[in-house]
Amino acid sequence: MKGLQNKVIIVTGGAGGIGSATCKRLAEEGAKVAIFDMNLEAAEKLAHEINSQNGQALAIKCDITQSDVVEQAVQQIEKELGPVDGLVNNAGWDIFKPFVKTNPQEWEKLIQINLVGMLNMHFAVLKGMVARNSGSIVNIASDAARVGSSGEAVYAACKGGLVSFSKTLAREHSRNNIKINVICPGPTDTALLAGVTEGASNPEKLREAFVRAIPLGRLGQPEDLASSIAFFLSDDASFITGQVLSVSGGLTMNG
Ligand SMILES: NC(=O)c1ccc[n+]([C@@H]2O[C@H](COP(=O)([O-])OP(=O)(O)OC[C@H]3O[C@@H](n4cnc5c(N)ncnc54)[C@H](O)[C@@H]3O)[C@@H](O)[C@H]2O)c1
Among the listed residues 250, 245, 113, the one whose alpha carbon sits nearest the alpha carbon of residue 179: 245
Per-residue pLDDT at 57: 98
Number of residues written out for the chain = 255
113 lines ligand 1 (CB under 6 A): yes
Per-residue pLDDT at 140: 98
Q: Assign 44 to helix, strand or coil.
A: helix
Per-residue pLDDT at 169: 98
136 lines ligand 1 (CB under 6 A): no
Q: How far is CA 140 from the centre of its chain?
A: 4
Per-residue pLDDT at 200: 75
The three-state (H, E, C) secondary structure of 181-218, written as one string: EEEEECCECCHHHHHHHHCCCCHHHHHHHHHHHCCCCC
d(C-alpha 249, C-alpha 45), whole Å: 30
Among the listed residues 8, 113, 115, 122, the one whose alpha carbon sits nearest the alpha carbon of residue 63: 113
Average of per-residue pLDDT across 187-204: 88
The DSSP bridge pattern shows strands 86-89 and 244-247 to be unpaired
Average of per-residue pLDDT across 26-37: 98
State the CB neighbour count (10 A cutoff) for residue 168: 12
C-alpha 60 – ligand 1 centre gap (Å)? 16
- With cut-offs at 50, 70 and 90, classify the pLDDT of residue 203: confident
Q: Report the residue among 60, 70, 88, 93 best suited for mutation to probe ligand 1: largest number of ligand atoms under 8 A from its CB.
A: 93
Burial of 97 (0-12, 13-18, 19+ CB in 10 A): middle
Percent of the chain whose pLDDT exceeds 70: 100
Interval 168-179: pLDDT, tens: 999 999 999 999
117 lines ligand 1 (CB under 6 A): yes
183 annotated active-site: no
Average of per-residue pLDDT across 72-91: 98
Residue 177 identity: N
The residue contributing the CA closest to ligand 1 atom 39 is 16
Per-residue CA distances from 210 to 22, 56, 160, 189, 191 (Å): 23, 36, 20, 11, 15
Domains of the chain (ranges; CATH) run: 8-247 (3.40.50.720)
Q: How far is CA 192 from the centre of its chain?
A: 13
Interval 135-189: pLDDT, tens: 999 999 999 999 999 999 999 999 999 999 999 999 999 999 999 999 999 999 9
73 lines ligand 1 (CB under 6 A): no
Task: Give the position, in ligand 1's atom list, of the atom nearest the Cα of 43.
Answer: 39
Q: Assign 130 to helix, strand or coil.
A: helix
Per-residue pLDDT at 195: 87
d(C-alpha 249, C-alpha 220), whole Å: 7
On whether the pTM is more than 0.85, the answer is yes
State the CB neighbour count (10 A cutoff) for residue 69: 17
State the CB neighbour count (10 A cutoff) for residue 37: 27
Per-residue CA distances from 17 to 43, 90, 203 (Å): 12, 10, 19
Interval 219-243: pLDDT, tens: 999 999 999 999 999 999 999 999 9
